[in-house]
Amino acid sequence: MPILGTTTHRAKSMLHRVPALGISYCGKDFMSKTLPYILGVILVLFGLFGFISNPLVGANALFLSDAVHNVMHLIFGLGLLSAAYWAHQSYGFWLKGMGALLLLLGLIGLCTVSSLGGILLGIATTNGASNWFNFIMGGVILFVARYTRA
């Protein structure tokens, strides 16, 4: 029976560190499974809210989007949820792929959208806030994929 205030070996083995940032988090499952679920839900909600008139996501909102952009958020969100739930051996591959695509779309949008009149790759309406959202979300997904044992 451990004494109050002491750390058992099991508790020590559950504490992991992200060496690049010096961050500690408890358990690899949080980074590898829980965060992809949370990020997937955020993307699905962004996709769904885009179809409903609101001040956050939509045609005249902070994060400008059209139907194509909303469907893209739904696809990425459902892809993250699917990878976290079903791809037990290869979900790291899926996380890296989806993170890289979102990061790339955000970067392309940040570099070119203003010159193209708000159209990303000629198919989706977007603005700076939406591009930053995609860029940051892609970076977070890549971070999760890199610092988990996926």
Sign of CA dihedral 130, 132, 136, 138: positive
Mean pLDDT of the chain: 79
Pairing assessment for the beta strands 57-58 and 23-26 based on DSSP bridges: unpaired
Q: Is 57 helix (H, G, I), strand (E, B) or coil?
A: strand
- The ranges assigned to domains in the chain are 28-146
For 48-74, how does the pLDDT look when each residue is reduced to its tens digit (9 = 90+)?
999 998 999 988 889 988 999 999 999
**Between 18 and 35, the higher pLDDT residue:** 35
pLDDT (tens digit per residue) in 136-148: 999 999 988 887 7
User: Look-up: residue for tokens 């700076």?
Assistant: 128
φ/ψ of 148, rounded to 5, equals -120, 170
7-to-13, 17, 24, 145 alpha-carbon distances in Å: 10, 17, 15, 29
Higher pLDDT, 2 or 132: 132
Gap between the Cα atoms of 140 and 144, Å rounded: 6
Report the DSSP beta bridge partners of residue 18: 23
Stated length of the chain: 150
Q: Residue 44 above 80 pLDDT? A: yes
- Give the mean model confidence (pLDDT) for residues 108-121: 78
Going by their DSSP bridges, the two strands 119-120 and 23-26 should be labelled as unpaired
Specify the pLDDT at position 67: 92
The model's pTM: 0.75
